[in-house]
Amino acid sequence: MPDRATETRVDEVEDRLVTAVAVGEYLPASRLPPERELAVLLGVGRVTVRAAIARLVERGLLETRRGRGGGTFVRTQWPDSSSESVGRTLLARWAGIRDTADAIALLHGALATAASERITDDERAVLRVRLEDFRVAGSGLEKQQADAVLHRTIIEAAGNAVLAATLAGLESQVSIAAPAHLWGTAEGMAEMEARALHDHEGLVDAVCDGRAVEAGVLARQHVGIDLELLERAMLRAGQVPTG
């Protein structure tokens, strides 16, 4: 029989994974990282990760597939039975999440400012293509992936590996799925994606045109969407964000 400490760790990982699905870190049909990688990201052993995944497969939130292209995949977003897990997890981490999200927004602003000052003609062309890729991508997982590529292109144009690494480390504290941004629930996804496109258009224009101050402000404001989605998740779970 597993001891109580082991059960507690499995409970915690289960809560983190449910929350990750609830806020759109992992969207329906997306594949979770391998057990070994999840264990590192969550700071637990592979046996703990395996046990938590098994529970979520049993609950119908995840499914496992064998063979080539197999792995663990998200089946749905936030079943009704998950609200308690989401609320408990976000409430316990809220102070740290809020401050880290603020730091992430500031770093995105700094990187966008630097990108606008340093971007080359070739990088401008690539960034315009990335914006168009986002525009035409399908809703949900495809747009989430296009979003990550667009932001990575801006970060690379900034030309500062230390800032980029610092940002990656902070994002991993908030999101298991970093560098993918949160993507919300199915009900609000269309509205959020339209807002993201509008933000991306302004941000890409500012970076490509060399409007450094504007690029920094737009980047900070845009990345604030992540904190809004987490706040909505808390409210939906019956918790009220503080601070």
Domain ranges across the chain: 4-80, 93-236
Question: 3-state DSSP call for residue 72?
Answer: strand
According to the model, what pLDDT value does residue 79 have?
80
Q: Which of 123, 125, 143 is nearest to 134 (CA)?
A: 143
According to the model, what pLDDT value does residue 206 have?
98
CATH number of 4-80: 1.10.10.10
pLDDT at residue 6 above 80? no
Contact status, residue 154 vs residue 126, Cβ threshold 8 Å: no
Q: What is the pLDDT of residues 161-191, one digit of tens each?
A: 999 999 999 999 999 998 888 999 888 999 9
- Which residue reads 């800032």 in tokens? 163
CATH of 93-236, one of 1.20.120.530, 2.60.40.10, 1.20.1560.10, 2.40.30.10: 1.20.120.530
Residue 70 corresponds to which amino acid? G
